Structure 1
Amino acid sequence: MACSSALFTEDAGAHDLTLNLNWPTEHGLARFTKALSDPDRLVMVAEDGDQIIGHLTGSLSGPSLMRPLLVATLGSIYVRPAYRGQKIGVNLVEEFKAWARRHGAQYAGVTAYAGNEGAVRFYERNGFAMRSVVLETSL
């Protein structure tokens, strides 16, 4: 849960004022526990000894009448700052893509905050391309 909390603080805390930054500590354990028994969900961790230094979550959806193919979504990825630049994130993404292909997915997607230019560059270096933009406004 520490990596999920750190991701919320570092990413959403800087880019999305609408998210509950306490969600990982309040609800994360139940969500991750449920995901572990769902064949359409993926939860991976990167470890250094007995310490979790990163994670990746993914899911499968479809096919549907609107999108007639199986889609894999990279839900979240986080690597502790001290371990960045060591290909840990790259390896997690490669494992996610391999998992998606094994399950028959024909497409993979991920969302990133527009203001998180480092994340956008990371995803682009790992084969993802910008396809859509979400615009929001305060009311």
Structure 2
Amino acid sequence: MRRLTPEDWATWRDIRLTALRSDPAAFGAALAHEQGVDEAWWRAFLDPARGVKVIAEAPEPVALVAGVPHEDLSDVLYLYSMWVKPEFRGRGVGAVLVGEVLAWAREHGWARVRLRVFRGNRVARRLYERLGFVGNGDSEVMEYEVS
């Protein structure tokens, strides 16, 4: 696992675009938009003031996740962009990635970590529940109380 800095912008960009090409229905973002942004945009996104971005490497990047301040809730870190290359799924990579975001949230004093998981994504929902996230069953929103 590796937490990224603005100097890692090309690494994040490349794995993010791979994720969007591989599983477009899993993301709210559009591949065309993110293909069109410049280096300055990617560097700004990776600014530590804008949260944490983590990749898993084996030895090349095989997974990513981001934790960013929630737009509307000042005490909530929003976990998103979780993705693992298909051939690395089921090996615990996702749990380690989420654990890294939760550790960062603790280190930086966040009260809660929130995420959205699409209703039909039972595998992801089970992962997040195992890690301590709670949802109401029907909602796409799940939350973790940082302690």
Q: TM-score, normalised by structure 2?
A: 0.70
Return the offset for 1:9: 4.2
Instruction: Name the residue aligned to 1:52.
Output: 61
Identity of aligned residues (%): 27
1:42 corresponding residue in structure 2: 52
Equivalent residues, number: 127
Which amino acid in structure 2 is aligned with residue 101 of structure 1? R
CA distance in 1, matches of 2:40, 2:125: 29
The residue type equivalent to 1:124 in the other structure is: E
Aligned mate of 2:132, from 119, 127, 133: 127
Q: CA RMSD in A?
A: 2.7
Is there any run of 5+ residues in structure 2 with no aligned partner, and where?
Answer: 1-12, 141-147
Per the TM alignment, residue 99 of structure 1 is displaced from its structure 2 partner at its CA by 0.3
Q: What is the one-letter code of the residue matched to 1:86?
A: R
Find out whether 1:8 has 2:17 as its counterpart. Answer: no
Q: Mapping of 1:1-139 within 5 angstroms?
A: 1-11=13-23, 13-14=24-25, 20-27=30-37, 30-49=40-59, 51-61=60-70, 70-131=75-136, 133=139
SS in 2 for 1:110: strand
Structure 1 distance, partners of 2:102, 2:30, is 29
* Structure 1 unaligned regions, length at least 5: 135-139
Equivalent position amino acid for 2:87 in 1: A
Q: Which has the larger radius of gyration?
A: 1
- Letter paired with 2:85: R
1:44 touches 1:57 (CA, 8 Å); kept in 2? yes
- Matches of 1:84 and 1:6, distance apart in 2: 15
Q: Which amino acid aligns with 1:102?
A: E
Partner of 1:137: none
